[in-house]
Amino acid sequence: MNPLEHLERRLGYSFNDQGLLTRALTHRSQGAKNYERLEFLGDALLGVVIAETLYKKFETANEGQLSRLRSSIVRKETLARVARALNLGEHLLLGPGELKSGGFNRDSILSDVLEAIIGGIYLEVGHDVAAARIADWFATELASLSLSQTQKDPKTRLQEYLQARALAPPEYKVINVEGKSHDQIFTVQCCGSELPPDLIGEGASRKIAEQNAATAALKILQLD
């Protein structure tokens, strides 16, 4: 059994056109025939399928709650987690530079490839089969969702709290970055005139670190 057949077993789908799967696995650093167009298609379909699933699952949720739930699923970090569960990193076709820098484990590439595979399945057999594969791959993520997760993110909540009191919005400063380019830890400080100076957050991306710093601020303000 060749490596792609092992992958197809994990995907639960066998491509009629193996070239389509190969393209879905090919990063632009490897050549002009890469996954970017397929990713565009898969991204659009993934958003529709997840939106429809959430609409049916949470019958009492309003538009804002549904939007936040969808964002928690279709974000880069969640897609990369699903991609790792499918071991997509083992099959990526990367140029020498990306290979050397650990591109096979980078969230942005893994999430893009997952969307490209969705796009490839859609091109071969249409919406229903692609939607079924999405439902299967994201089953664990979808099952863990609840409406309690739909409150606004920490940065938004902190900014709204300060604005309601006519205070300046907080600033976020990166004070340290550690690790190699594909495995970094960011440390961010949340600063504001009404906030203590030692509000720190860490995370695998600047965005995550900022959210964690905002969470620390909310706890100090006894809002979390």
Provide the pLDDT for residue 149: 63
Residues 13, 11: Cα–Cα separation, whole Å: 5
Domain 154-220 CATH class label? alpha beta
CATH 3.30.160.20 segments of the chain: 154-220
Quick one: pLDDT at residue 223? 66
Q: What is the pLDDT of residues 65-106, one digit of tens each?
A: 899 899 889 999 999 999 999 999 999 999 988 888 888 889
What is the percentage of the chain residues whose pLDDT exceeds 70?
Answer: 97
Give the tens place of pLDDT for each residue, 126-168. 999 999 999 999 999 999 898 876 667 889 889 988 888 888 8
Whether 143 and 53 have beta carbons less than 8 Å apart is answered as: no
Phi, psi angle pair for 93, to nearest 5°: -110, 105
Domain span(s) for CATH 1.10.1520.10 in the chain: 3-150
CA 122 → CA 82, 118, 126, 129, 218, distances in Å? 18, 6, 4, 7, 43
Q: Annotated active-site positions, please?
A: 43, 115
Please tell me the CATH code under which domain 3-150 is placed: 1.10.1520.10
Q: Which of 167, 160, 166 is nearest to 193 (CA)?
A: 167
The pTM assigned to this predicted structure is 0.71
Q: How far is CA 157 from CA 59, 64, 211, 214, 220, in A?
A: 25, 14, 10, 9, 13
